[in-house]
């Protein structure tokens, strides 16, 4: 294991549960991301060695799937849904407001590492469009001003 960080054991347990077979790749990457928040080179190398698959395949899968991120996220994350219902009900305005306020676009993190903004394909909360998620709390039928207030509140409670 790369270090004595206990989280590696959790990752290893997932691989073991699937008999360390190559088909456990995506499940194992999910566990890494759940435990560490993102996938770094150490993690990719560890998964490759554990499942005995080429590093290129691990990297290939990690970059193919949108759910995986190779960069650490900010302390707080705001997810803006850009599904069709949210889009026609004003998701672009939400993203515009965040960009004006914090200077970051989807996929970026503020330089101080405090806030990341990402977009979701669809949260499936279309009945509540437009929707955003601030640190796990779903904000439904939200406007730009309210959303900025909630982000501010989430970062400085």
Give the footprint of another protein on this chain (CB under 8 A): 21-27, 29-30, 51, 53, 57, 60-61, 64-68, 82-85, 87-89, 120-129, 131, 138-140
Shortest reach from residue 101's CB to another protein, in Å: 21
- Closest to another protein by CB, 24 vs 117, is 24
- Closest to another protein by CB, 139 vs 148, is 139
Q: List Cα–Cα distances, 82 to 58, 88, 133, in angstroms.
A: 28, 9, 12
Beta strands in the chain (DSSP E): 76-81, 108-109, 115-120, 132-134, 137-139
Q: List Cα–Cα distances, 6 to 2, 10, 11, 64, 106, in angstroms.
A: 11, 7, 9, 28, 32
Shortest reach from residue 112's CB to another protein, in Å: 27
- Closest to another protein by CB, 94 vs 139, is 139
- Count of residues in the chain: 157
Shortest reach from residue 122's CB to another protein, in Å: 4
């Amino acid at each position: 294991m790369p270090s004595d960080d206990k989280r590696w054991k959790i990752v290893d347990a997932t691989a073991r549960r699937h008999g360390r077979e190559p088909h456990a790749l995506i499940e194992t990457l999910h566990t890494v991301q759940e435990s560490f928040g993102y996938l770094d080179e150490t993690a990719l190398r560890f998964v490759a060695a554990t499942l005995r698959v080429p590093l290129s395949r691990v990297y290939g899968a990690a970059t193919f799937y949108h759910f995986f991120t190779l960069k650490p996220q900010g302390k707080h994350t705001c997810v803006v849904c850009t599904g069709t219902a949210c889009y026609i009900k004003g998701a672009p305005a939400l993203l515009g407001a965040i960009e004006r306020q914090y200077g970051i676009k989807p996929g970026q993190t503020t330089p101080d590492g405090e806030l990341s903004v990402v977009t979701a394909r669809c949260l499936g909360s279309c009945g509540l469009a437009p929707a955003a998620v601030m640190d796990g709390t779903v904000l439904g039928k939200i406007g730009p001003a309210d959303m900025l207030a909630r982000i501010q509140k989430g970062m400085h409670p």
